């Protein structure tokens, strides 16, 4: 397959992958419960498609609509056929995971994420496309079976102590099971946070350390109930004390701030209200304005790093100026 495909076809293939995932759930993501998503893949597959027929039609389709229609038929292909199809299909296209392989792995992971992961580890880790395959698999797995993905990630982390950087090819080739490093666990947390906040933070706490994505993870929680569910991943919240943040308490602190941002009055009524200062007097003093998200990002940074400025090398001039205004207002 030539990677220099018409952009419409590339877009079509990506849409087909996404369409399959949503077809598994039959609803919009925002209406899904964030704690327990279950795949209905098997129950919805009333007919069976032949994978070779699907691929022939996909290859001969001349319009993007026809290609999308053919690709969506993968939903009716059994997992056994998906596996045999992967073994017969070019997996790498000019150094990248091929589009067909990507679709197959998403389809497989939605029904049996662990099997798809183990297959990918065995067959792709020496081809330079493992990380790409890994991300496709965990994204589909997170939507279909978040609890199983969480349990798998915690087991895999025990097989390899998460460290900064990537797992070396030499170490990977020695292992019969997937090895997760810091970035791998971080990716799992990011995939889980929108659908299963508690599981996302259970993986996050195993990962440890600090990442520039940490504030993004916290800001992904769009409701107080999601924040409260994330806090279920923490032990010893009742022992936390104001201004004494260490260990996992640092991460809990960011969730308390997120709760306070989302609903200050609700947080004020909670049993954790004593842990954060009441921001209402500060809010009344003409806080500087800026694009949505900057102020909460600045506030989270100063909460974690009261004496250190953020790394502003990639910031726009407008954001740098907003930081200066925020600092002047805060002090």
- How far apart are alpha carbons 40 and 25 in whole angstroms? 7
- Please give the Cα distance from 273 to 262 (Å, whole number): 14
CA distance 46 to 43: 7
- Provide the whole-model pTM: 0.69
Spatial distance between the Cα atoms of 223 and 91, rounded to a whole number of angstroms: 40
Smallest Cα–Cα separation from 299: which of 257, 263, 266? 257
Paired tokens of 37: 């998503």
Q: What is the mean pLDDT of each run of 10 residues along the chain (331 residues)?
A: 34 44 40 39 47 74 76 75 81 84 89 93 87 94 95 83 63 80 91 96 88 86 95 90 80 91 92 82 56 72 75 85 80 65
What distance, in Å, lies between the first and last C-alpha atoms of the chain?
59
CB-CB contact of 21 with 140 (8 Å):
yes
Q: Token match 């070779």: residue?
A: 52
- 236-242: long-range contacts (C-beta < 8 A, 24 or more apart)? 237/272, 240/272, 240/275, 241/275, 242/274, 242/275, 242/276
**Which pLDDT does position 62 carry in this prediction?**
77
Q: What b/e sequence results for 194-233 when a residue is b if at least 16 CB atoms lie within 10 Å of its CB, and e otherwise? A: bbbbbbbbbbbbbbeeebeebbebbbbbeebebbbbbbeb
């Amino acid at each position: 397959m030539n990677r220099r495909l018409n952009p419409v076809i590339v877009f079509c293939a990506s849409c087909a992958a996404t369409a399959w995932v949503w077809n598994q759930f039959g609803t919009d993501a925002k209406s899904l419960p964030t704690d327990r998503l279950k795949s209905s893949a098997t129950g919805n597959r009333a007919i069976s498609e032949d994978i070779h027929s699907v691929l022939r039609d996909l290859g001969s389709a001349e319009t993007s609509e026809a290609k999308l229609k053919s690709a969506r038929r993968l939903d009716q292909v059994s997992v056994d056929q998906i596996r045999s199809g992967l073994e017969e299909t070019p997996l790498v296209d000019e150094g990248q995971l091929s589009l067909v392989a990507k679709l197959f792995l998403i389809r497989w992971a939605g029904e049996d994420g662990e099997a798809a992961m183990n297959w990918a580890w065995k067959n792709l880790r020496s081809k330079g496309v493992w990380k790409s395959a890994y991300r496709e698999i965990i994204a589909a797995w997170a939507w279909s079976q978040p609890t199983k993905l969480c349990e798998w990630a915690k087991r895999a982390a025990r097989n390899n102590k998460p460290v900064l950087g990537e797992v070396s090819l030499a170490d990977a080739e020695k292992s019969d099971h997937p090895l997760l490093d810091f970035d791998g666990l971080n990716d799992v947390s990011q995939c889980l946070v929108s659908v299963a906040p508690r599981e996302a933070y259970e993986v996050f706490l195993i990962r440890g350390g600090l990442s520039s994505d940490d504030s993004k993870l916290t800001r992904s929680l769009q409701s107080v109930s999601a924040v409260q569910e994330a806090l279920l991943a923490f032990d010893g919240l009742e022992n936390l004390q104001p201004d004494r943040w260490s260990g996992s308490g640092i991460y809990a602190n960011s969730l308390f701030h997120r709760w306070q941002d989302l609903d200050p009055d609700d947080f004020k009524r909670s049993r954790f209200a004593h842990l954060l200062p009441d921001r209402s007097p500060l809010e009344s003093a003409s806080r500087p304005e800026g694009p949505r998200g900057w102020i909460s990002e600045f506030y989270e940074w100063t909460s974690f790093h009261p004496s250190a400025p953020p790394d502003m090398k990639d910031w726009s001039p407008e954001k740098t100026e907003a930081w200066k205004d925020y600092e002047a207002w805060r002090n």
